Amino acid sequence: MTRYVLHPACRVREESFGLLFYDLRGPRLLFAETGGLVSAERLRGGGAGTDDLCDRPEAVQGRVERLLQSLVQKGFLREQSVR
């Protein structure tokens, strides 16, 4: 299982549309229309993972997985393996 945590050089906050990411290395901003699917608190704390979405429809799970992977590629999140 993989968890996604906020990169140490990044900040995130919840907005009405979803999440706002700020990269201190850039500075860069990224607006992510997540609604209530992923919380800023989860990303700052223990991280978010696909197991958090097990009660959601498959289409929603896929959308969130793609979003998390995109945020990893852009450097806002890091992947952590969980055993």
| Contact predicate 70/21, CB 8 Å | no
The model's pTM: 0.83
Residue 12: the pLDDT is 94
58-80 in b/e form (b: 16+ CB < 10 A) is eeebeebeebbeebeeebbbeee
Please say if the pLDDT value at position 10 is more than 90: yes
Average pLDDT over every residue of 36-56: 76
* Alpha-carbon span 83 to 71, nearest angstrom: 22
Domain limits, the chain: 2-76
